Amino acid sequence: MWLVTVLVPLLRLYLCGMKVLLYQMFNRSFTLPVLLRQDGRVAIVTGGTRGMGFETARHLASLGMHVVIAGNEREEGAVAVRRINDEVSEGKAEFVYMDLTSLKSVRHFVQAFKQRRLPLHVLVNNAGTMMVPERQTDDGFEFHFELNYLGHFLLTNLLLDTLKRSGRQGSCSRIINMSSATHFAGVMHMDDLNRRICYSSHGAYSQSKLALVLFTYYLQEQLTAGGFPVIVNAVDPGMVDTALYDNLWTLAQTLKRPVAKILFRTPAEGASISIYAAAACEMEGVGGCYLYNSHKMQSSSVSYDSELQAELWKKSCELVGLQEA
């Protein structure tokens, strides 16, 4: 049991990491094209106080967007907003508290946002955690599953009506889900999404990233079928030198440091794919994609399983208390 549920997910995830590093060894991060001004558009970026989220928020604000940074670190949020507003003249950044590990907090955030009657043109589901030791949220969910996926699932669904009203043909609203190559190592344990039978932080993390890709494809099908001017894409930033790796084992941390300086991407480089998906003209009306280095790539074969997509959607609705559409 231990071999299958702990060691195998670990090996699968590190194999994915090695493949990404080999790619990054010989391929540079793509350079963002010149992006048009985004004046009047409103964006929400989760986890935008540091790392790739901060770089995404800063760049979107520099294009003229009103950016709402959603996060659970108030002091960090205040510093991030001050840095961005000191740098940009046309756009605006603000911080609003939201804890993705609390469904109540997500609902409160959405309620407060809607009360302001603002439009919403871009939602960047960026926040995430990795390799957290076994831990449950106050809602009773496995930590990776709720923070990386389930909280974003609820947030997106609660904001869908605003996104639909804000978009129009030729200027669609956009949803960006931050996945990663580790989703290739992911296995959806639909009978044990909270990993209570035998915990593996590697397996839990990979599962949460696979869930985001499955969610992306299923949601895009619904939006397309309804004729709504909203697109949703999953993005893969590559291996980026951020605080995500703080939970690695001590040996892995030691080995990672010299490698990261040479092969890992900077947060700004990693954020470029989210920025591209959020603002590039080339992505207008293009949804249901897995994007890496600005290219549409094939995600894992299991991510295209329509029955699994529908099953995860239905289960997720039950878990967060939404009526299935």
User: Minimal CA–CA distance to 152: which of 192, 84, 211?
Assistant: 211
The verdict on whether 205 is a catalytic residue reads yes
Catalytic residue among 97, 149, 199, 205: 205
CA distance 32 to 88: 18
DSSP tally for the chain: helices H, then strands E = 11, 8
CA distance 86 to 141: 39
CA distance 273 to 152: 19
- Which residue has 């709402």 as its token pair? 68
User: Minimal CA–CA distance to 149: which of 208, 192, 196?
Assistant: 208
Helix runs in 247-299, H state only: 250-263, 267-279
DSSP for 62-101 reads HTT-EEEEEES-HHHHHHHHHHHHHH-SS-EEEEEE--TT
- Specify the amino acid at residue 37: R
With a CB cutoff of 8 Å and minimum separation 6, the contacts of 145 are 193, 194, 195, 204, 207, 208, 211
CB atoms within 10 A of CB 204: 25
The residues carrying an active-site annotation are: 205
